[in-house]
């Protein structure tokens, strides 16, 4: 059987990628089984037991461009997310309100601006945290069924997230209760890290 006691409670999920590739740029997309196995410190031989998590029926994969708003503060927390590729930024709500997508319209269509507002935000302190491959976010508000307490934008072009709703969690529990228990263990560890990393006050 699977065990959840091989790693300390506080680990860095961004250890899935090396420091030289801090945003996950150019790296292949990670899978939920790989991320969960990393969190739990599982051996390769145990990874196959989590393979059911790769099926799209238990999560939706969504892809964002740099600067895209994933969700805003005070909106309904109807899902939580896990970073599979790229990275996201927890930002001040004022930043989302004051900035438009980093594209302009020209005769040739949409053109990427040379200086992304996201890069400028890093300089003036609007970004509270950068979450990389393997990081989970939005779960605490999802669990407590309260409005979002922070806003999130994609901080890298082509950022891919696993989006998990109540319906998908319920389906996993009904069809794969053992895997659902493992999922809950990962969520518990990750929610502690989310609370530690999220400075939600404006």
At 121 the pLDDT is: 52
Enumerate residues 6+ apart whose C-beta is below 8 A from 150.
73, 90, 91, 93, 128, 198, 200
At 51 the pLDDT is: 83
What is the tens place of the pLDDT at every residue in 22-44?
444 556 788 888 888 887 777 76
Question: Measured in whole angstroms, how far is the alpha carbon of residue 74 from the centre of its chain?
Answer: 18
At 103 the pLDDT is: 43
What is the tens place of the pLDDT at every residue in 125-158?
577 888 999 888 999 899 899 999 999 999 999 9
CATH tag, 13-104+115-197: 2.60.120.10
Supply the mean pLDDT for the chain: 74
pTM across the whole model: 0.71
At 20 the pLDDT is: 38
């Amino acid at each position: 059987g699977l065990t959840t006691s091989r790693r300390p409670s506080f680990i860095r999920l961004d250890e899935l990628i090396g420091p030289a590739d801090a945003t996950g740029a150019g790296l292949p997309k990670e899978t939920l089984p790989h991320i969960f196995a990393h969190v739990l410190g599982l051996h390769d031989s145990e990874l196959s037991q989590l393979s059911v998590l790769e099926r799209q029926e238990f999560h939706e994969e969504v892809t964002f461009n740099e600067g895209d708003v994933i969700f805003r503060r005070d909106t309904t927390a109807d899902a939580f997310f896990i970073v599979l590729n790229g990275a996201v930024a927890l930002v001040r709500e004022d930043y989302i309100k004051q900035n438009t997508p980093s594209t302009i319209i020209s005769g040739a269509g949409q053109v990427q601006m040379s200086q992304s507002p996201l890069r400028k935000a890093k300089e003036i302190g609007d970004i509270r945290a950068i979450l990389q491959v393997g990081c989970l976010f939005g779960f605490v508000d999802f669990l407590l069924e309260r409005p979002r307490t922070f806003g999130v934008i994609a901080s890298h072009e082509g950022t891919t997230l696993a989006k998990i709703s109540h319906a998908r969690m319920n389906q996993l529990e009904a069809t794969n209760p053992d895997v659902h228990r493992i999922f809950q263990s990962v969520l518990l560890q990750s929610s502690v890290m989310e609370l530690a990393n999220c400075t939600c006050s404006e």
